[in-house]
């Protein structure tokens, strides 16, 4: 699986599946969630309501993922996942890792070949951006080594986040050959 890290708007990605940084209600919110529902139109919300009525009466737990139509977006599916709210007292990184893994698993089940992720939990849920990037890039690289989909794209909203991501990508790649 090829990993791309780009600056952009998640709603404009020409991929099979885009991931939504949702909340447990699945009924919309601000940030990525607001943009996806605004640009994707009411079909996405209708699917989310159906999921709530049928399979997720208590909402979607953090760390899990579920797919709906992508409505008017260029993608075919939206995969909704719920990131953890950042906590200084408790390490919730396993839940954040699970968001990436479960979204990739759902994408695989759907037969998606390409997927675009926002930086889950790094906005309203206040995860420190560099650590959120380390988790996202670490998970997507690990999935890439196991095969999986054709391409995964991490779509970042702010230029300073892209600069940090380039730093994380370089650090994660380890020292260049010939340096110690
Ligand atoms: N495209 C790509 N990235 C974006 C976009 C966009 N259109 N808009 C914002 N970002 P957030 P969370 C970046 O808050 O932290 C919602 O209300 C943003 O700068 O969307 O997981 C939900 O309903 C940040 O880096 O998601 C939940 O209640 C990243 O996307 C809650 O927010 C994630 O920010 C989820 O919070």
Query: Which helix (DSSP H) or strand (DSSP E) does residue 52 occupy?
Result: helix 42-54
| Six-digit token string for 33 | 């969630």
Average pLDDT over the chain, rounded to whole?
95
Q: At what angle do helices 93-110 and 129-145 cross, to 10 degrees?
A: 40
Between CA 49 and CA 130, with CA 66 as vertex, the angle to 5 degrees is: 120
Give the Cα separation of 28 and 11 in Å (integer). 14
Q: How confident is the model at residue 1 (pLDDT cuts 50, 70, 90)?
A: confident
Residue to mutate, 29, 73, 123, ligand 1, most ligand atoms under 8 Å from C-beta: 123
Taking the centre of ligand 1 as the mean of its atom positions, its distance from the CA of residue 107, in whole angstroms, is 20
φ/ψ (deg, to 5) at 119: -85, 90
pTM comes to 0.96
pLDDT of residue 147: 77
| pLDDT higher than 90, residue 128 | yes
CB 78 within 8 A of CB 44: yes
Q: Which residues surround ligand 1 with Cβ inside 6 Å?
A: 9-11, 21-23, 29-33, 35, 83, 118-125, 155, 157-158
Taking the centre of ligand 1 as the mean of its atom positions, its distance from the CA of residue 156, in whole angstroms, is 10
Between CA 150 and CA 155, with CA 151 as vertex, the angle to 5 degrees is: 165
Q: How confident is the model at residue 178 (pLDDT cuts 50, 70, 90)?
A: low
Q: How confident is the model at residue 162 (pLDDT cuts 50, 70, 90)?
A: very high
| pLDDT higher than 70, residue 15 | yes
Query: Is 154 strand, coil or helix?
Result: strand
| pLDDT higher than 60, residue 152 | yes
Taking the centre of ligand 1 as the mean of its atom positions, its distance from the CA of residue 74, in whole angstroms, is 19
Q: How confident is the model at residue 145 (pLDDT cuts 50, 70, 90)?
A: confident
CB 13 within 8 A of CB 47: no
pLDDT of residue 176: 57
Give the Cα separation of 147 and 97 in Å (integer). 18
pLDDT in tens, 62-113: 999 999 999 999 999 999 999 999 999 999 999 999 999 999 999 999 999 9
| Six-digit token string for 104 | 């990739």
Nearest CA residue ID for atom 18, ligand 1: 123
Cα 87 from chain centre: 19
Name all domains of the chain by residue range, CATH numbers in brackets: 2-172 (3.40.220.10)
pLDDT in tens, 26-68: 999 999 999 999 999 999 999 999 999 999 999 999 999 999 9
Radius of gyration, alpha carbons of the chain = 16
């Amino acid at each position: 699986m090829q990993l791309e890290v780009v600056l952009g708007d998640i709603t404009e990605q020409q991929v099979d599946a885009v991931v939504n940084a949702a909340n447990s209600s699945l009924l919309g919110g601000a940030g990525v969630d607001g943009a996806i529902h605004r640009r994707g139109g009411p079909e996405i919300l209708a699917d989310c309501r159906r999921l709530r009525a049928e399979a997720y009466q208590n909402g979607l737990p953090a760390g899990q993922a579920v797919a709906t139509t992508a409505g008017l977006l260029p993608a075919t599916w939206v995969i909704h996942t719920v990131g953890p709210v950042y906590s200084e007292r408790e390490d919730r990184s396993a839940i954040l890792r699970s968001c990436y893994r479960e979204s990739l698993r759902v994408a695989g089940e759907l037969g998606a070949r390409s997927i675009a992720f926002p930086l889950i939990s790094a906005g309203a849920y206040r995860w420190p951006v560099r650590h959120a990037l380390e988790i996202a890039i670490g998970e997507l690289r690990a999935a890439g080594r196991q095969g999986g989909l054709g391409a995964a794209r991490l779509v970042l909203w702010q230029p300073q986040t892209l600069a940090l991501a380039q730093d994380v990508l370089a650090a994660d790649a380890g020292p260049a050959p010939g340096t110690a």
